[in-house]
Structure 1
Amino acid sequence: MEANELLKKVRKIDIKTRGLSQNIFAGEYHTAFKGRGMTFAEVREYQYGDDVRDIDWNVTARHNRPYIKVYEEERELTVMLLIDVSRSRLFGAVGEDKREMIAEIAATIAYSAITNNDKIGVIFFSDKIEKFIPPKKGKKHILLIIRELIDFTPENPGTDIGVALRYMTDALKKRCTTFLISDFIDKHDYTRQLQVASNKHDIIAIQVYDKRDTTLPDIGLMRVTDLENGKTGWIDTSSKSTRKAYSKWWYERQQAMTEALSKSRVDLASIATDEDFARALMALFKNRGVR
């Protein structure tokens, strides 16, 4: 991509997603993704109803009246984006293509993170780890991430979610909040890796799909190409049994995905490319915030 074109796209996504984050998501994000520990803040005089286990006996002895330790939530989080950069994300028939929506969703989450003073990092994956951007803070870091989201070219075409989950589990020692963003078109079984990763990290799955992924149109003979393995062929979409078999494939794949996520206690937002992703993210954040 030419430098000028890339800068225009970065600027466009920057303006849109920064505005969404600051005006809509900041409060919901803060509520949905809480800190993981407590740090000492101060001591104050004991008040009726305070937990006696929090009494600071040293201060109490000095002042000859009870004082308690006050703690506050350790708010800073590390947020990781696991971004599927396989070739199937290039597909787009209804609405924008999956790559564009994935970039906008990821950028919005990234801005929500730094607005709340959290670190943000990225793992780009296909059927291997394509690139790791360590977690950092700051506007320059966000712009770097956005540039990579727009212009990154993977070496491999396939998808292996398990590889990404295993890498994150090994690479990140501290617990982090992880957004796994993919169309989840994956021929591998990633259930085990998901269970292991979810025991260590807080994982949220965001599926971005095109409605043409779900059903075949009735338009007669159609030439199709598998974007991930490059194989091409012809199918007769006027055949009712062919369309039914394809719909069954999609349904069974979705069932397998939701079952794997449910077993690992992973929340899911499934968003079509012609839908408003902001509304879906708001619903996801609100649901987590009321728990």
Structure 2
Amino acid sequence: MTEHSVTAKQAREHSIELSLEQLIACQYWAKESIPLPHKKTRAHLVGGHLSPFKGRGMEFAEVRQYQPGDDIRTIDWRVTARTGKVHTKIFQEERERPVYIVTDLQDTMFFGSRNRFKSTLACLHSARAFWAAFNTGNRVAGLFSTANEHIELKPSNRRQNGLRLLQRLMELHNQRLESVYSEAEAYNINQNSLQEMLMRLRHLVKGGSLIYIFSDFMNLNDDCRQHLTYLAQHNDIYGVMIADPLEASIPLPGQYTLTDGLRHIRIDASNQRDMQQHQQAFEQRVAQIRQNFTLSQSAFALCSTADSITDLSLDPNIQNSLSLVNAEVK
């Protein structure tokens, strides 16, 4: 094996393919803690006041004998009937919140002109979000999707299940990567993939959860927006758009053919007018996606394959906007 082939293989292993070791190493960048809900919701069941918390807020702790002043609504009638003495349920404040990692591995994600593929960066950030949640004692769930496959992993705070989540994410990514770049299988685009994933998420998520969505949002349609609005009513959502500098600007002159998997267009990079239209189209798409998350009172961040994984904060209260248009091309 020549020196050139060894170098090429190493570059592929570090920028395109994923390993479990890479996803485990992401815990060293996961310095944030998972925040409490940052939006206020009206708690109709306990009055008209505004509560900063979503979900149940309290969880069952124990049963003890009734004492004067206890709320009669918390009496445990089963224990009372069995013992012949009145017992009441004791609740404690819920300290954890379920965290859902939603990773879009549609074929449009398997592209990158700098450092790594969009799909690879999405998986690394997904792993980082996992460790940030897991290290603070939260239960973490996973929902990973390709053009024709969905993987669902239930919320858990056990390390064994967490490593299984990362393993499944890595396997799905590498299997799809091999298929995309295999001559035996064509580029596969499912226009409803993101919509189906969000619809499934609505059935899985309980109120009070924190949801991270890593995607290029190429297939964000009106149905997706409705699902996001519904989810945001009872949960906190943080949308992370993964993009590549070439989607915003083509630095070298020449004739280029661009495709979304279904349509093809020809661009002359030496034509200043074409380049301005190309850049404006990208900026408009980002602005529209950002607006969709803003209208649903959700956080949004834009990150690029040209950026380091350490450049993105996972705190939904901090909205990031990393520049792709002005990325320096080496």
Deviation at 1:40, TM superposition (A): 7.7
Question: 1:32–1:286: 8 Å Cα contact kept in structure 2?
Answer: no
Match of 1:280 among 312, 317, 329: 312
Shift of the 58–123 alpha-carbon distance from structure 1 to 2, 3 Å rule, reads closer
Q: Is the 8 A contact 1:82 1:180 kept in 2?
A: yes
Distance 1:266 1:236, change over 3 A: same
Say which of 101, 119, 134 aligns to 2:154. Answer: 134
Q: C-alpha distance in 2, partners of 1:12/1:19?
A: 11
Distance 1:41 1:131, change over 3 A: closer
Equivalent-residue separation in structure 1 for 2:117 and 2:111 (angstroms): 6
Residue matched to 2:129: 109
Amino acid at match of 2:313: L
Deviations 1:208-255 (A, max 9, x none): 1111111223421123343x33x5554322122221221121122112
**Partner residue of 2:274 out of 217, 242, 251:** 242
Given candidates 228, 231, 249, the residue that maps to 1:215 is 249
| 1:281 counterpart SS class | coil
2:101/2:212 contact within 8 Å kept: yes
1:270 to 287, 290, 302: 302
Per the TM alignment, residue 20 of structure 1 is displaced from its structure 2 partner at its CA by 2.2
Work out the percentage of aligned pairs sharing the same amino acid.
17
Which digits, 9 at most, give the CA deviation of each residue in 1:38-97, with x for residues without a partner? Answer: 35889xxxxxxxxxxxx97369xxxxxxxxxx9853112211111111011111102221
User: Are the equivalent residues in 1 in contact too, given 2:18–2:170 (CA < 8 A)?
Assistant: no
SS at match of 1:57: coil
Partner residue of 2:190 out of 143, 158, 161: 158
**Equivalent position amino acid for 1:17 in 2:** C
1: CA distance, partners of 2:234 / 2:36: 21
Q: 1:141 and 1:248, CA in 2 relative to 1: closer, same or farther beyond 3 A?
A: same
Asked if 1:192 corresponds to 2:220, the answer is: no
State which of 149, 161, 180 in structure 1 corresponds to 2:169: 149
Show the counterpart of 1:57.
69
1:44-83 alignment to 2 at 5 Å? 57=69, 73-83=93-103
RMSD: 3.3
Please tell me whether residue 252 in structure 1 is matched to residue 284 in structure 2: yes
Q: Is the 8 A contact 1:128 1:164 kept in 2?
A: no
Q: Give the Cα separation in 2 of the matches to 1:235 and 1:128.
A: 31
Give the superposition deviation at 1:128. Answer: 5.9
Aligned counterparts of 1:56 and 1:91: Cα–Cα separation in 2? 66
TM-score (norm 1): 0.75
CA distance in 1, matches of 2:22, 2:219: 31
Whether the 8 Å contact between 1:40 and 1:72 is mirrored in structure 2 is yes
Please say which of residues 72-81 and 167-176 is displaced more in the overlay. 167-176
Q: Establish whether residue 29 from structure 1 lines up as the match of residue 34 from structure 2.
A: yes
Q: Is the 8 A contact 1:129 1:163 kept in 2?
A: no
Matched with 1:13 is 23
Aligned equivalents of 2:231, 2:18: Cα separation in 1: 37
The alpha-carbon distance between structure 1 residues 175 and 128, as it changes in their structure 2 partners (threshold 3 A), is farther
Q: Secondary structure at the match of 2:112?
A: coil
- Structure 2, unmatched stretches of 5+, are 1-12, 39-52, 72-89, 180-187, 320-330
Which residue of 101, 112, 127 corresponds with 1:92?
112
With structure 2 as the length reference, what TM-score do the two structures score? 0.67
Aligned 8 A contact 1:223 1:233 in 2: yes
1:239-272, Cα deviation, whole Å (9 max, x unpaired)? 2222122112112211211111111001012111
Q: Residue by residue, what CA displacement relative to the aligned partner does 1:192-221 show, whole Å, maximum 9, x if unpaired?
A: 221111113221111111111112234211
Question: Is contact 1:83–1:125 with CA below 8 Å preserved after alignment?
Answer: yes
**Deviation for aligned residue 1:137:** 2.3
Q: Aligned pair in 2 of structure 1 residues 244, 196: CA closer, same or farther (>3 Å)?
A: same
How many pairs does the alignment contain?
Answer: 255
- Three-state SS of the structure 1 residue aligned to 2:120 is helix
- The match for 2:8 is none
Alpha-carbon distance in 2 for matches of 1:265, 1:119: 23
Distance 1:176 1:56, change over 3 A: farther
C-alpha distance 183-58 of structure 1, shift in aligned 2 (>3 A): closer
One-letter identity of the residue aligned with 2:277: A
